[in-house]
Homo-oligomer: A and B are copies of this chain.
């Protein structure tokens, strides 16, 4: 199978979405000049070009794209060619209202924005396949073409009648019989027993709480329908160019897509990454997405979109201070990216995203943004050969599963304060602040290579996943889990005892009497630290060690942190410093060590292949101890024992 290496060929891909159809052709020549000055070697064409390629149903206008493909090729710039199917032309909704999605309140999503396509619409799928076929036929052999990009940020839901028809088919595939569905959905509750498949709908606006398993299955169905759309287009381009890799770009931690499952269908895993430049945890949030994407890719991956400056969809859209774009781009390379790309090359002057920055901003060539882009291009070229294709194993895995998220994130739960991505971030942050680098893994993955496995929260677990965790610990692994793990099975059926009996046995929990969720501003004293968000009334079994206990209140003396052998359980969420110290201690016990010792806060160190990346996320200069002698690939300097990094400074050290 083709891979990212087939596109990079030893060079970090540098470039971005290029939408020249918004500009007169004379601008194209300036673009090429600026791209070459900046070291741009890859552009993505055609992402939102459907109306241009197919101005009327069945017509084709390829001339402009022919000229662009040739122009790129003449200038040594590779093209990632996109199928344009994320935004159908106005004529489609007009002629075929069945292609428009409908929300759970019955509102049509009209054209005039983007992504106004129903994943379930046979009409949409037919048009999408046809334009993909023609693109593949015309450009499959073009020498500029390096990769295919299918659609863009798949993210639509649909509660329409046509979606309901497909939902029924999907459910028949999952359950076979109505009896099995009624059993799985628990329809005996509230008189919801289905007597005919035709009675089943997408979970639309209801008087009160909806059936949670119906909602869960609708999320699964949505991910699968979008995946069907992707696979259909992928198969078309793959037939035409079996040697070229295919990708589609994920939104980081987007709730609607089971990216573990999707990644299996991609040659290249790519992601769009937009941390808030003002967020004090922006770097850590970036690291989390990078770790997750690398884990899905099982190796190098593609940073498909980032912003050279501000975005336009936050409440207040802060620009990137001088140096931050370089810092965060090199952080991505450190964590496995072999492509550093942007939305978009040249900032638009019209349309809904004209205040989203570009590599060339409104200020143009003279602007600070482009000047920094140019500097970064040169630096990436300097390190490309040493970087591309390389990979490093980590000792720690953080478990994550969309199905557990989907099952747990519903109405009618113990606490609306519990937010799955927040918990994932809190646990990853603790490891990141302890300078421990991590992978992500699915709970049914082979975990035997890890010294420590971390479970922020897996509300729903299959039996296979539970057995996997038990085997991992039995075979010598160290496991640490947060609360609300193993509560339900894959149908969102609560396990007897409120938590799976095998897991209770693993952690030393005899009886889980009650959950005691905490109010937003509440905390519990745990003797040395404070717990937030949650607490539990647990009766322990004899073998269990209470590593930290609640002090005062109704839970006085009960375990906040519980351990039985190598299995740790947290019944609360310690405040960040305590969480960092606790995980550092557990990791040390498991034999997992930080990348470097004695790293200052705000400095991140990451190994990739034999390289050591050291990144200063602070605005103050800092000196970092680095044992031994290294060569800094960025400056050419020799580094002995320590390296000094200025504000947002980076060293890429080779032994």
Binding site for B on A (CB under 8 A): 19, 21-22, 48-52, 55-56, 84, 87-91, 94, 101, 105-116, 156, 185-196, 198-201, 203-214, 278, 309-310, 312-313, 315-319, 321-322, 347-356, 361-364, 366-369, 411-417, 491-494, 496-498, 511-520, 537, 554
Does the CB pair A190–B113 fall under 8 Å? yes
Report B-chain residues with C-beta under 8 Å of the C-beta of A199: 90-91, 94
Which residue of the partner chain, among B366, B369, B417, contacts A315 with CB atoms under 8 Å?
Answer: B417
In the bound assembly, the distance between CA atoms of A351 and B193 in angstroms comes to: 12
Does the CB pair B19–A189 fall under 8 Å? yes
Does the CB pair B278–A498 fall under 8 Å? no
In the bound assembly, the distance between CA atoms of A347 and B363 in angstroms comes to: 59
Report B-chain residues with C-beta under 8 Å of the C-beta of A512: 362-363
Q: Please, which residue of chain B has its CB at the minimum distance from the CB of A53?
A: B191
Write the nearest CB–CB distance from A431 to chain B, whole angstroms: 28
The residue in A106, A113, A537 that gathers the most chain B C-beta atoms within 10 A of its C-beta is A113
7 tightest A-B contacts by CB? A186-B350, A189-B351, A113-B206, A362-B498, A209-B352, A51-B193, A319-B514
Report B-chain residues with C-beta under 8 Å of the C-beta of A206: 109-113, 116
Report B-chain residues with C-beta under 8 Å of the C-beta of A412: 312-313, 352-353, 355-356
Does the CB pair A514–B109 fall under 8 Å? no
Does the CB pair A353–B89 fall under 8 Å? no
Does the CB pair A21–B111 fall under 8 Å? no
Which residue of the partner chain, among B188, B196, B214, B514, contacts A309 with CB atoms under 8 Å?
Answer: B514
In the bound assembly, the distance between CA atoms of A56 and B196 in angstroms comes to: 9
Report B-chain residues with C-beta under 8 Å of the C-beta of A101: 207
Report B-chain residues with C-beta under 8 Å of the C-beta of A204: 108, 110, 112
Report B-chain residues with C-beta under 8 Å of the C-beta of A278: 519
Write the nearest CB–CB distance from A570 to chain B, whole angstroms: 19
Does the CB pair A207–B114 fall under 8 Å? yes
In the assembled complex, 25 residue pairs joining A and B whose CB atoms fall closer than 8 Å, in A order, are A21-B188, A48-B190, A51-B191, A51-B192, A52-B188, A87-B192, A90-B192, A90-B195, A90-B199, A90-B200, A101-B207, A108-B204, A112-B204, A112-B206, A112-B211, A113-B210, A114-B207, A116-B206, A116-B207, A185-B350, A189-B348, A211-B351, A355-B412, A363-B497, A368-B537
